[in-house]
Amino acid sequence: MTPRLLETIRRWLPRRRADAAVELTQWAAARHCSCKVRPDGAGVLIESTAPDDAWRLEWGPSQRSYIVGAELRLRAALGADETLQFVVLTRPLMQALETEIFEQYTEDLRTRADTATPDEMRWLVLYPKLTPTELGVLRDHFGAAGHPKAALMDWLAGELSDALAMAATGWLRAGTPLALVVQRGRLTLRTPMPQPQAAACDDALALFRVALREARAVHARWAATGASNASGA
């Protein structure tokens, strides 16, 4: 980022937004990523196109009702196979969404729930949830649901379980919503972020990279075994 562009951001945006935008643009430049800032400073888009590390980071208004205010979103493609459908949520968020979706999911409201409710919420009704025993060390902090269940358990084994447990006792403050969603051949992470901060982006990106690597590994294993494993759902 050039000094002239930095000065332009600072001149035209309110001080707090300008400082946040500059912090993220510098963060992106240090990682050789492209960065775009909304003219009003209310949104930032950063993209990495490295062959072995492609992802998109967005900060801006929340796209989900369960996150109030601004959110951080991270997205990356897994592959062409769209059969894997997983959601991992912080436990307080999962409990709140279960209450909401079960209240909606009556015969009178079924059509509205199906068309207006995000997939990750409906899956809490449609797909099996992991038991506390199946969640292991994550049981106190997270919940998970998805299809096929065996593939979901495979995803949460090993390094991703360790990364989530570390986040829960570190940068992810108690009660802070976090959603990891695998659907339509891509992985998405969502969490609140009132103002964009480089350190918080580092933490979220580190977790996202582990989740992405493990999801791609599960995707490859599942694609190799094919539909014959569907009975393990």
Q: Are 79 and 216 in contact (CB under 8 A)?
A: yes
Top pLDDT among 217 and 114 is at: 217
Q: Are 101 and 122 in contact (CB under 8 A)?
A: yes
Q: pLDDT band at residue 43, thresholds of 50, 70 and 90?
A: confident
The beta strand positions in 51-205, using DSSP E, are 53-61, 70-77, 85-90, 142-147, 179-183, 186-192
pLDDT in the model for residue 6? 45
pTM as predicted: 0.84
Q: How confident is the model over 158-214, as pLDDT tens digits?
A: 899 999 999 999 999 878 999 999 999 999 999 999 888 899 999 999 999 999 999
Q: How confident is the model over 98-151, as pLDDT tens digits?
A: 888 877 765 555 555 455 688 888 889 889 999 999 999 999 999 999 999 999
How many Cβ atoms from other residues are within 10 Å of residue 170's Cβ?
10
Distance CA 89, CA 134 (A): 15
pLDDT in the model for residue 37? 85
